[in-house]
Structure 1
Amino acid sequence: MSQAQSDVVVVGVGADGWDGLSPAAQRAVRGSKVLMGSQRQLDLVPGDFERIAWPSPLVPALPGLFEKYRDVCVLASGDPMFHGIGTTLVRLLGGRVTVIPHPSSVSLAAARLGWALNEVEVVSLVGRSPDLLRAALTPGRRVLVLGGDPATVAALAGPVTVLEQLGGPDERVYQWSGQVSDPLSVIAIEYGGSAFSRAPGLPDDAYESDGQLTKREVRALSVSTLAPLPGQLLWDVGAGAGSIAIEWARTHPSCRAIAVEQSAERAERIGRNAAALGVPGIEVRTGRAPEALAGLETPDAIFIGGGLTVPGVVQSCWDALPSGGRLVVNAVTLESEAVVAQWYAKVGGDLVRIAVNRGSAVGGFTGWRPHLPVTTWSVTR
């Protein structure tokens, strides 16, 4: 896409302002009739332009702005395609947009710290829950945090380094110890604590539960059978403590889940478990399936862990799956196994029976204590 073909140019600007722009970026700014951006960004650019500061809320106003104006230069922070307005505008306007990036704050932070950027995990907390950081904290891992409060991040991760105003005349890099920090900062973490694996099968005591919890061994098999892929959506129907939805979402930051639970008390508990385990973005729908499934976004996979014998639940889930969608069902009682047997005869799939025995004390010795066997039915539509 060439600049000549587009009437919207998005220019990344650093903390060094106009003087830090490349010649191509300066030409793009000078060649426009209208500048758009935050007031701070608009103040960085000299010249006689019509200047439009972003309204609030921003996204709903964008179609009207770009229908009204042509020959627009949008000013963005750093790399506009890295957690920036550039991605939103390309999605909205397509071929009308040319992007001229500036080094991102993440690139500058990695350069200052001597960290290999390809080995660093980046977490954006801009407008998001700090609990997202929990899933990224693994021993020895280097993490860069955007938009976080140093006090909150330090409470979760331990000692942190703050990098302020990167690339600008007021740049500062320091170990945080309670100072007031500039909003234009990146927080660097070298985590030395303990953490849970992202692989399915977390310890049962990682969850707050009233006993309605898919046990560790069965959970590991269930999530692996659901086969999560980046960007996919799971429905966890009859979610209980939310463990299947949570472990699906923990496999990749872009995996999403909707937990459907009829008990309001358990639904609140799912939210607490999700936050504690680093996936606060899980959506919790309180209601009874199948009615609570109406209007939900089309899933890539569905897990049914509770309510299997309620009329219409399996049929509604089956109907909601797209071609290639995966359904996994766990049955414990004879009645729920009967439902599974009927559907297996109807549409096929795979049946697995899991019997778990855990060692525990028997007097002064060790013996096996069996858990209830679980029948798992899985099928691809």
Structure 2
Amino acid sequence: MTTDPAYRSKWLSIVGIGEDGLEGLNPVGRSLLSLASVIVGGERHLAMLPPEDRREKLLWTSPLQDSIQEIIRRRGQGVCVLASGDPMCYGIGVTLTRYIPLEEMTIIPSPSTFSLACSRLGWSLGEVETLSLCGRPPALLHGVLYPGAKLLVLSADAQTPAIASQILTDRGFGESPITVLEHLGGTRERHIQGIANRWDFTDIADLNVIAITCLSSNPLTLPPRLPGLPDSAYQHDGQLTKRQVRAVTLAALAPLPGQLLWDVGAGCGSIGIEWMRCDRRCQSIAIEHHPTRLQYIADNATALGTPHLKIVAGKAPLALQDLPQPDAIFIGGGITTPDLLETCWSALGEGGRLVSNTVTVESELILLQWHRKLGGELIRLSIQKAEPVGKFLGWKAMAPVTQWAVVKGS
């Protein structure tokens, strides 16, 4: 994204507003608002303007993309976007910077809701898990639950605290203290305190943030944050990369924040899910054609806190057309499918990683051929588990897994 020489001036301003409204704006924010010829905001923000203000107003619409295009269409005019709190903290400023160069805008934040909440609670913001459920699935909460965690959750509306309380209770965190902080920084500020499994408050403002201290009645049942979740964490029909092999596979895939994985032949989705659990910014696309397994993927992603996992129903390589370029690809099955490896390898950019696991001789031969051509690392994983043999224990071997891992351009 580059700046058009005709619009080098900062024509767009994004001004954060607190609960105290326009009166709380600093001089720079006031000046930017007064100089604008077009003002953009939600109903609450635009209602703060005096009735005699006759400048053009743009109300956010759904889909949001339509409003963004209206802003871009006014490029070069003085446009001021009114936002809540800090526009760069789960706010509209983050979205707009994806479409408009930073050189063309000025961003003036107010204190974020999270900063204000920490000041009321005496919490260190650097030690808090933050999450927004505004326009996002509540299942994201599953991904940040652990004993002792301090959570700050931006609510979508007045019902969000009750939804969060139910999730906490269902996951064994029913005794967790909850504080709902309404209208932070304004004259109507109010704090409501309760316990998750006894939460029965209904008179709650839509504008609120939830503070949670996670207390677990059975912390041993929680899935760990590292790759290699117990097999029992997944619904599956046997098409599951087993726990120990999964941990080695994720290590070979080497996820980094913000990177995208293609999980080709996803089965129950375990590889893509654990890729996303490594960092909340990681993204994954699960490609699977079996109807029952597609449902398993969706259910597992929700239960394990990765509801944004994208699911593509179809067979590879045809289903891989038009997907965004991945940073890594995992092929867990179907390696003998014509053109599958060729398509996946072509899709990777320089530095992209491909990992494939196989259990059949025919598949091994294909990996051996590709290893000879492209290099990489070829290993065999052999795992044995102790199981009863009469009154004693014996070693039962799992099917050996051959794994090929390669980095493009290495």
TM-score by length of 1: 0.95
Task: Name the counterpart of 2:48.
Answer: 44
- C-alpha contact (below 8 Å) 2:155/2:161 kept by paired residues: no
Aligned pairs for 1:132-143 (under 5 A) are 132-143=140-151
- C-alpha contact (below 8 Å) 2:387/2:395 kept by paired residues: yes
Q: How many angstroms apart in 2 are the aligned matches of 1:315 and 1:83?
A: 39
**Identity of aligned pairs, percent?**
47
Task: Name the counterpart of 1:327.
Answer: 354
- C-alpha contact (below 8 Å) 1:17/1:45 kept by paired residues: no
What SS is found at the alignment partner of 2:98?
helix
Unaligned runs of 5+ in 2: 1-7, 169-173
**2:7 is aligned with 1:7:** no
Deviations 1:324-353 (A, max 9, x none): 110101010111111111111111111111
Deviations 1:197-231 (A, max 9, x none): 22110001001111111100000000110000000
Deviation at 1:318, TM superposition (A): 1.0
Q: How many angstroms apart in 2 are the aligned matches of 1:121 and 1:45?
A: 35
Aligned pairs for 1:277-356 (under 5 A) are 277-356=304-383
Task: Name the counterpart of 1:62.
Answer: 68
Task: Name the counterpart of 2:4.
Answer: none
**2:91 is aligned with 1:84:** yes
Deviation at 1:66, TM superposition (A): 4.1
- C-alpha contact (below 8 Å) 1:262/1:286 kept by paired residues: yes
Please point out which of 175, 180, 205 is paired with 1:182. Answer: 205
Please point out which of 190, 210, 233 is paired with 1:172. Answer: 190
Q: How many angstroms apart in 2 are the aligned matches of 1:366 and 1:43?
A: 73
Aligned AA for 1:150? P
Please point out which of 23, 30, 39 is paired with 2:34. Answer: 30
Moved more, 81-90 or 186-195: 81-90
What SS is found at the alignment partner of 2:95?
helix
Deviation at 1:178, TM superposition (A): 1.8
**2:163 is aligned with 1:152:** yes
What SS is found at the alignment partner of 1:91?
coil
What SS is found at the alignment partner of 1:281?
coil
Q: How many angstroms apart in 2 are the aligned matches of 1:299 and 1:354?
A: 26
Q: How many angstroms apart in 1 are the aligned matches of 2:54 and 2:118?
A: 35
- C-alpha contact (below 8 Å) 1:110/1:117 kept by paired residues: yes
Task: Name the counterpart of 2:79.
Answer: 72
Deviations 1:42-63 (A, max 9, x none): 1223363415142422322323
- C-alpha contact (below 8 Å) 2:41/2:60 kept by paired residues: no
Moved more, 56-65 or 359-368: 56-65
Deviations 1:161-217 (A, max 9, x none): 111000011101111432222111001111122322221100010011111111000
Deviation at 1:5, TM superposition (A): 4.0
- C-alpha contact (below 8 Å) 2:38/2:58 kept by paired residues: no
Task: Name the counterpart of 1:130.
Answer: 138
- C-alpha contact (below 8 Å) 2:71/2:79 kept by paired residues: no
Task: Name the counterpart of 1:222.
Answer: 249
Deviation at 1:93, TM superposition (A): 2.8
Aligned pairs for 1:219-258 (under 5 A) are 219-258=246-285
Task: Name the counterpart of 1:119.
Answer: 127
Deviations 1:76-117 (A, max 9, x none): 100111111222333333222111110011110111111100
Q: How many angstroms apart in 2 are the aligned matches of 1:78 and 1:341?
A: 56
Task: Name the counterpart of 1:366.
Answer: 393
Q: How many angstroms apart in 2 are the aligned matches of 1:169 and 1:51?
A: 30
Change (3 A) 1:18 1:55: closer
What SS is found at the alignment partner of 2:99?
helix
**2:219 is aligned with 1:198:** no
Moved more, 285-294 or 68-77: 68-77
- C-alpha contact (below 8 Å) 1:34/1:49 kept by paired residues: no
Q: How many angstroms apart in 2 are the aligned matches of 1:305 and 1:299?
A: 16
Q: How many angstroms apart in 2 are the aligned matches of 1:16 and 1:40?
A: 12
- C-alpha contact (below 8 Å) 1:353/1:373 kept by paired residues: yes
Q: How many angstroms apart in 2 are the aligned matches of 1:276 and 1:233?
A: 21
Unaligned runs of 5+ in 1: none
Task: Name the counterpart of 2:113.
Answer: 105
TM-score by length of 2: 0.89
Q: How many angstroms apart in 2 are the aligned matches of 1:232 and 1:223?
A: 13
Pairs aligned (count): 378
Moved more, 296-305 or 42-51: 42-51
